[in-house]
Amino acid sequence: MKLGWRTAAAVLIAAAGLATAGAVARPIAASLHSRVAYGTLDPNSVPARIDYCGRRYYADAGATWTREKAASTSDPSFQASWREIGRTDGGTPYYAMVVPDTVRRVFSPPIPCTMLVYLRVGPDVYSVYPLSGGP
């Protein structure tokens, strides 16, 4: 079956339109998700906030720590361990000294998973995100 030139042109225009719509929709969707999840429209920028373990953590303007300093602030009796807990939409990892559930649940109500979240901004340099609100 032969297609007429008008039909072929219409199919090509429709395909180009769908490809363009997909190319435009993807970055818009990424920006909207980043705004909802991290408080910023640019998925590659430093987030204004990070949600983890049912809690919200806001950036502490200008505060940066090393991993060693982060580990030294954790109470040894809580048995917290350094873990990557997620990545921003731009792929930047963030970490926390996470208290195990077995320790958290000893308290009533359970204590937070962590009091601080750390966004890696350089080699052994982390922006600090303190817990918003109380335990």
pLDDT one-digit tens code per residue, 58-80: 999 888 999 999 989 888 888 99
Please report which confidence band the pLDDT of residue 94 belongs to, taking 50, 70 and 90 as the band edges: very high
Residue 15, pLDDT > 70, answer: no
Average pLDDT score over residue span 14-19: 63
> Whole-prediction pTM value?
0.78
- Residue 129: what pLDDT? 96
> In whole numbers, what is the pLDDT of the chain averaged over residues?
86
Instruction: Cite the DSSP H helix spans in the chain.
Output: 5-38, 67-72, 101-104
Q: How far is CA 91 from CA 23, 30, 73, 104, in A?
A: 20, 12, 26, 29
**Is pLDDT at 19 greater than 70 in this prediction?**
no
Give the span between the Cα atoms of 111 and 98, in whole angstroms.
11
Whether 17 shows a pLDDT value over 70: the answer reads no
* pLDDT for 37: 87
Which among 82, 60, 64, 65 has a CA at the least distance from the CA of 131? Answer: 60
